[in-house]
Structure 1
Amino acid sequence: MSHRLADEHAPDASTEDAPAAPARRWPGHLAVLLCYAALGYWVTSRLWVAPDTRLLADNRNDQPLMEWMFAHGGYALTHLSNPLLTDSVQVPHGANLMANSSIVLPALILAPITLAFGAATTFVLFTGLCLAGTAAAWYALFRRRLTDSALAAGLGAGLIGFAPGMISLSNAHVHITAQFLVPFIVGCVLPSPGAPRPVRRGALLGVLLTAQLLTGTEVLLFTVLGAGAFVLLWAAFVPSAARRQVRGLAIRLGVAVIVFAVLAGYPLWVLLAGPNSYHGTPWDIGIYGTDVASWPWFNAFSLLGGAAQAARVYSGNATEQTAFLGPGLLVLVAVLVWWLRRRRTVLALAATGLLFAVCSFGTEIVLMRAHTGVAGPWALVARLPLIEQAIPDRLALVTIAAFGAILTFGADRAVRTGLPRPPWLAAYAAALVPILPTALPVTHRPPIPQFFTAGSWREHVRAGHTVLAVPTSFATDRLSMRWSSGTNAAMAVPDGAVMIPGPDGKAQWGTPRSRLASTAARVSRTGRVPRVDDAERARARSDLAAGRTDCVVLDPTAPHGTAVRHTLDRLLSVHARYASGVWYWDVRPTG
């Protein structure tokens, strides 16, 4: 039995058509899910060609981070270590993974795939699953709560799972696109006339909230804000129906809070006050807002879009093109809201979508790349704890979810009222086809050297000690983490571009701060071998000791590699050796 949203002034809102026979339902379900799977594969298809040597062209830095996160999940599972914290990067201090865009739960669940096929394969698989899984989860919710039509539910859920913003964020931000738990959270919160067992639903909600916390904290924040705003707006539009729901909702939320506090208490402590926790962000939140004009625009990853077209309006970068719905979809949504205006639930959805669209403008209103100097609504809350780490342009995802539900309501009414299919399907096609996703662009990357994948590094590193990768050329260079992922995170590194607390407790990138690493990067950039004296050698030895480094390894593809090698020969007082595709220096103490 489905539980529909109560909706006064809409006589058909709670009507439940007789369920179709199972034999007639499954073909529709299967067709929708196959379409989602095909789209998920299409978006990631260029990565599937060669996961180990393909890199997302529009986010070359974050993909190695996420691959390392998957590798760490496999390591934590096989070594029964704490998956929320690690001492394998930023040695000897370690890092707080709960505070680092972690995907703890998916990494643990997918650990068998990582251990069997490698972290790069897991990353590509998960990228596609996030899109198809999110669409499938919304489809399940819409079929249960909004419509008996597979077509209506499939269209609305498909928009949410494969919206331009989701494709843009699929450039290695899988902790944001992993939204397959969100519809089930929303389903537990939504008002449900006659819904039984509020205690059980509340307990399930607490479990789902905990699971989402361990999948993506930012998505959890947006889900709570979005669901809360919708419920309040729905109550304002349908006050008498809302009053009948207060007791059940209070029970569900009360039980959910208790269950969440018990299950998520430790992860929350780690996030907020655990080892290497921090406040703030190392980037300027002010640059991450949606351009007002970006909503009717096409982004770089849509069928009618492209990088040149998207660049005409503002976005923080290519991975944050989260609005960009195109003019057709905005017009269609507006028409559907007018057509369905007697349905108060649709009005509440429209108001929720508009609210979060405005909030997504961020801390300053930008129009056609022009910074107006007018403060955006997000400026009022941007410095609050937890919220200070959220990127406001991603609030557009809440708007997209609301629009997906409106599309489903519209298609459902068209189906139930017998509206001829060609006209309304043509309208939907005109809105949705232009924003169909293209395959994510990729570029080549060298394979991880056999020195790491074959385990040769173990011969040169003592337990509890590290390997230093050189050169690391910029603040978020994750060469060492990529090489570590090739060992399933068994190899510890003294650096690693993760967020760590600075001297004042504010977040900063854990960049290589040793003089040795900086020297190697400078030589790789300039090709000039510096003069090396005893003082320089003493500093190098001090850097090695501080990072517990037993082995230094040169990237075989580094610019001016010969110059870097000659410099390190002098600095380390050890001649490099060549093995398994790399030059390395064994700097363990002798004697």
Structure 2
Amino acid sequence: MSSRPTGQAEAGMVPRLAPLALPRWLPVVLALVLYLGLAFALFSSAWRDPRTTAIGLDTDPIFSIWFLRWVPYAIGHGLNPLLTNYLDYPAGANLTWSGLFPLPALILSPLTLWLGPVVSYNLLATLALALSAWTGFLAVRRYVPSAAAATIGGLLYGFSPALVAQSLGHPQIAVAIIPPLMLLALDDILVRQHHSFLRSGALLGVLGAAQLLAGEELLAAEAIVAAAGGVLLIAANREAVAARAGYVMRATGMAAAVFIMLSAGPLAVQFLGPQRVVGGSLQPANVYVSDLINFIVPTSLQQFAPRLAVVISDQFSGTLSEWNAYMGLPLLGLLVLAAMTCRRLPIMRLSGLLTVLFSLLSLGVTVHIVGLVTPIPVGLLGMTFGGVRRWVPLRPLLYTFVGIWVALAIVPVVNNLLPGRLMLFVFLFAGILLAGLVDEASRLADRRRKALTLAAVVVALVLLLPHWPFPATQLATPPFFSARTDAVVPVGAVVLVAPYSRGGSTQAMLWQAESGMVFKMPEGYALIPGPRASPPATALGAEMAAVEKGAPPDLAADSLERMRRDLKDWRVQAVAVGPMAHREEMVALFTSLLGRGPRALGGVQFWPDVGLPAQQ
């Protein structure tokens, strides 16, 4: 007798293997690797020579580079890193008002001391997008079971046009790592309440303090977004308020205590310390906003931006780094579809509401259309909320919208927030919506609908691709500053450097940072009382700025005398004229002012032993 196979072999089938169980941490790691690879690829123009090329444009990258070098120098010399008289000597500046990032600067200090502040800045700008996308992934993954869908959601947030634009020179905004974590912490406190209120509250307080030291403007914006989300949650779930209120109050009390304990010092320096900025607006009103057309018209920072689109977007108010609203018609359509398809889920309804709410609030005080400032109040756009009354009572939504709009317009401190930057929160909530739609589509039985939806997602994301190569700035530091500056300049001496550093001009600050902060300067680009971003007005400062722009030097005897008094008041010990426009005229000015010619040293014209010694 011949034996016969049994079981599955009897049916002519290959035995089926059990599904491979992947570790839960693997998608988290793979997402991080993906985002890091994309970020380094995007900024490859700077990473080809990271010591002499900085990611971004204009003066802001140099200001950030300076601060990255200042923090380890200050700590190493027993100085307060939030204050300095190495700029705008002798009065100095309170750096807490200049929108800086002491916590990332502290973390990167070892790299800064090893490879220099330019490399540190490039790494910070690169990690900003990658880690923001990754924490966005972590937040989305809580609400969407599919790791692939969550990866898309994190990608939309971390590499959004908003954060890409801020990467031109605003690390304090581009390092948007904490907002997704703050969302998770607030979800734990307001909704889930699975952990001890002590743990949940302490975590929220730590995140708040970390955000204060990573970018104070984002902390203020997070508070506004959290308040809006809390009001909408209460309005939509009134029956659950009583049961959760006790936990919420205890947890938020704990959060406040931890935040105050960790933040009291920096806040005291900011609001009670020297050179604090009191009164006045730090930014012009109703300028740095989302243009209504920007939602569908790309800027030059998108890879697929037709010439006509760039011509249109160049008319927007503000600057390229603040044109943060581009979404494109395909993504806008998908977000509407996601809101409808996933509306049974509370998180998707809330995300949809907050996406609309903060998209409108990013428009500013009045609507801008192709750069034209119309008289149409953005507050009137609340009339468009009628379609969502099934999701949340209309009155709380309107009150929340109008209240925030008024606060952004007229409330002190809050009115210093730039409305256009609220778009980064819009992209976070849009990432949740898009991930929800992708997750739903992946489970559709209708293959045609599934393919069409996923294809539309691909098209929407492709249209958002950043321009490659990304803008980068070549930095040139004369050997005088990059070598042993302390061999010819006493440590702590006051050196007047041309080109004169002020609002819009930061070259001298780069050279000071590259020298290792050997000398102080009576100049600088930092917010000081006024408020103003340039040093206090002086005859010599004004003359240097004029010569830099092409004016002939004023060598009249009375003018020279006034400028000599400025040198004395600043306690200047040396003068250095580096590579700059109209350099010969600047050298002629100081030759007449000091009564002698310069020494040529390491690419600069240098006058040592000018005047009085500096006071510490």
TM-score, normalised with respect to structure 2: 0.86
Summarize the Cα distance change of 1:158–1:335 in structure 2 as closer, same or farther, 3 Å threshold: same
Conservation of the 8 A alpha-carbon contact between 1:299 and 1:307: no
Summarize the Cα distance change of 1:55–1:188 in structure 2 as closer, same or farther, 3 Å threshold: closer
State the one-letter code of the partner of 1:489: M
Between the aligned partners of 2:63 and 2:501, the Cα distance in structure 1 is: 16
Q: Deviations over 1:519-549 (max 9, x none)?
A: 233334336344342x344323321122221
Shift of 1:335: 0.6
Match of 2:610 in 1: 588
Match of 1:562 in 2: 584
Between the aligned partners of 2:489 and 2:371, the Cα distance in structure 1 is: 53
Equivalence map 1:287-326=2 (5 Å): 287-305=287-305, 309-313=309-313, 314-326=316-328
Shift of 1:105: 0.6
Task: Say which is worse superposed, 378-387 or 218-227, in terms of deviation.
Answer: 378-387
Match of 1:156 in 2: 153
Shift of 1:495: 0.8
Task: Say which is worse superposed, 431-440 or 65-74, in terms of deviation.
Answer: 431-440
Task: Say which is worse superposed, 113-122 or 30-39, in terms of deviation.
Answer: 30-39
Equivalence map 1:530-545=2 (5 Å): 530-533=554-557, 535-545=558-568
State the one-letter code of the partner of 2:428: A
Summarize the Cα distance change of 1:353–1:443 in structure 2 as closer, same or farther, 3 Å threshold: closer
Task: Say which is worse superposed, 115-124 or 134-143, in terms of deviation.
Answer: 134-143
- The match for 1:579 among 601, 608, 612 is 601
Task: Say which is worse superposed, 468-477 or 487-496, in terms of deviation.
Answer: 468-477
Conservation of the 8 A alpha-carbon contact between 2:168 and 2:471: no
Match of 2:378 in 1: 376
Equivalence map 1:53-72=2 (5 Å): 53-55=52-54, 59-72=57-70
Between the aligned partners of 2:536 and 2:483, the Cα distance in structure 1 is: 26
Between the aligned partners of 2:455 and 2:329, the Cα distance in structure 1 is: 15
Match of 1:482 in 2: 510
Q: Secondary structure at the match of 1:214?
A: helix
Summarize the Cα distance change of 1:387–1:334 in structure 2 as closer, same or farther, 3 Å threshold: same
Match of 2:400 in 1: none
What is the percentage of aligned positions where both structures have the same residue? 28
Are 1:238 and 2:240 an aligned pair? Answer: no
Between the aligned partners of 1:103 and 1:189, the Cα distance in structure 2 is: 23
Q: Deviations over 1:211-259 (max 9, x none)?
A: 1000101111111111221222123223334443322222211100111
Match of 2:128 in 1: 130
Q: Secondary structure at the match of 1:290?
A: coil
Q: Secondary structure at the match of 1:373?
A: strand
Between the aligned partners of 2:501 and 2:264, the Cα distance in structure 1 is: 39
- The match for 2:540 among 506, 509, 516 is 516
Q: Deviations over 1:290-334 (max 9, x none)?
A: 111211222222232267524414242111111011111000000
Q: Secondary structure at the match of 1:437?
A: coil
Match of 2:8 in 1: none
Between the aligned partners of 2:513 and 2:307, the Cα distance in structure 1 is: 31
Match of 1:212 in 2: 211
Q: Secondary structure at the match of 2:488?
A: helix
Match of 2:339 in 1: 337
Q: Deviations over 1:91-142 (max 9, x none)?
A: 1111111111111110011001111111111111111111000010111222
Taking only aligned residues, the RMSD between alpha carbons, in angstroms, comes to 2.4
Task: Say which is worse superposed, 41-50 or 116-125, in terms of deviation.
Answer: 41-50
Summarize the Cα distance change of 1:307–1:30 in structure 2 as closer, same or farther, 3 Å threshold: farther
Equivalence map 1:245-260=2 (5 Å): 245-260=244-259
Summarize the Cα distance change of 1:201–1:379 in structure 2 as closer, same or farther, 3 Å threshold: closer
Between the aligned partners of 2:206 and 2:20, the Cα distance in structure 1 is: 32
Q: Deviations over 1:192-221 (max 9, x none)?
A: 435121111101111110010001011111
Summarize the Cα distance change of 1:235–1:24 in structure 2 as closer, same or farther, 3 Å threshold: same
Conservation of the 8 A alpha-carbon contact between 1:159 and 1:400: yes
Q: Unmatched 5+ residue regions in structure 2?
A: 1-18, 380-404
Shift of 1:430: 1.8
Summarize the Cα distance change of 1:221–1:473 in structure 2 as closer, same or farther, 3 Å threshold: closer
Q: Secondary structure at the match of 1:511?
A: coil
Shift of 1:166: 0.9
Q: Secondary structure at the match of 1:374?
A: strand
Summarize the Cα distance change of 1:474–1:82 in structure 2 as closer, same or farther, 3 Å threshold: closer
Summarize the Cα distance change of 1:548–1:43 in structure 2 as closer, same or farther, 3 Å threshold: farther
Conservation of the 8 A alpha-carbon contact between 1:95 and 1:500: yes
Shift of 1:50: 2.2
Equivalence map 1:445-484=2 (5 Å): 445-457=474-486, 459-461=488-490, 463=492, 465-472=493-500, 475-484=503-512
Summarize the Cα distance change of 1:254–1:527 in structure 2 as closer, same or farther, 3 Å threshold: closer
State the one-letter code of the partner of 1:198: F
Q: Unmatched 5+ residue regions in structure 1?
A: 1-19
Between the aligned partners of 1:590 and 1:290, the Cα distance in structure 2 is: 51
Conservation of the 8 A alpha-carbon contact between 2:93 and 2:528: yes
Shift of 1:515: 2.0
Q: Secondary structure at the match of 1:304?
A: coil
The count of residues paired between Structure 1 and Structure 2 equals: 563
TM-score, normalised with respect to structure 1: 0.90
Summarize the Cα distance change of 1:491–1:22 in structure 2 as closer, same or farther, 3 Å threshold: farther
State the one-letter code of the partner of 1:268: L
Shift of 1:376: 2.9
Between the aligned partners of 1:194 and 1:286, the Cα distance in structure 2 is: 40
Task: Say which is worse superposed, 100-109 or 445-454, in terms of deviation.
Answer: 445-454
State the one-letter code of the partner of 2:355: G
Conservation of the 8 A alpha-carbon contact between 1:281 and 1:508: no
Conservation of the 8 A alpha-carbon contact between 2:501 and 2:523: no
Summarize the Cα distance change of 1:196–1:460 in structure 2 as closer, same or farther, 3 Å threshold: closer
Match of 2:441 in 1: 414
- The match for 2:572 among 549, 573, 577 is 549
Q: Deviations over 1:33-63 (max 9, x none)?
A: 2221122112221111223433556x31111
Between the aligned partners of 2:312 and 2:332, the Cα distance in structure 1 is: 19
Q: Deviations over 1:384-442 (max 9, x none)?
A: 22212211111122211111111122223334566645333212112111102223643
Equivalence map 1:348-363=2 (5 Å): 348-363=350-365
Q: Deviations over 1:432-480 (max 9, x none)?
A: 11102223643654521121121225523363x3111113386321122
Summarize the Cα distance change of 1:306–1:202 in structure 2 as closer, same or farther, 3 Å threshold: farther
Task: Say which is worse superposed, 264-273 or 387-396, in terms of deviation.
Answer: 264-273
Conservation of the 8 A alpha-carbon contact between 2:39 and 2:126: yes
Summarize the Cα distance change of 1:335–1:363 in structure 2 as closer, same or farther, 3 Å threshold: same
Q: Secondary structure at the match of 1:480?
A: helix
State the one-letter code of the partner of 2:587: R
Between the aligned partners of 1:216 and 1:165, the Cα distance in structure 2 is: 16
Match of 2:140 in 1: 142
Summarize the Cα distance change of 1:567–1:309 in structure 2 as closer, same or farther, 3 Å threshold: same
- The match for 1:439 among 463, 468, 471 is 468
Summarize the Cα distance change of 1:552–1:397 in structure 2 as closer, same or farther, 3 Å threshold: same
Task: Say which is worse superposed, 571-580 or 421-430, in terms of deviation.
Answer: 421-430
Match of 1:9 in 2: none
Summarize the Cα distance change of 1:539–1:246 in structure 2 as closer, same or farther, 3 Å threshold: same
Summarize the Cα distance change of 1:405–1:243 in structure 2 as closer, same or farther, 3 Å threshold: farther
Between the aligned partners of 2:332 and 2:211, the Cα distance in structure 1 is: 30
Task: Say which is worse superposed, 524-533 or 402-411, in terms of deviation.
Answer: 524-533
Between the aligned partners of 1:307 and 1:47, the Cα distance in structure 2 is: 25
Q: Secondary structure at the match of 1:553?
A: strand
Summarize the Cα distance change of 1:254–1:447 in structure 2 as closer, same or farther, 3 Å threshold: same
Task: Name which one, 1 or 2, has greater alpha-carbon Rg.
Answer: 2
Match of 2:398 in 1: none
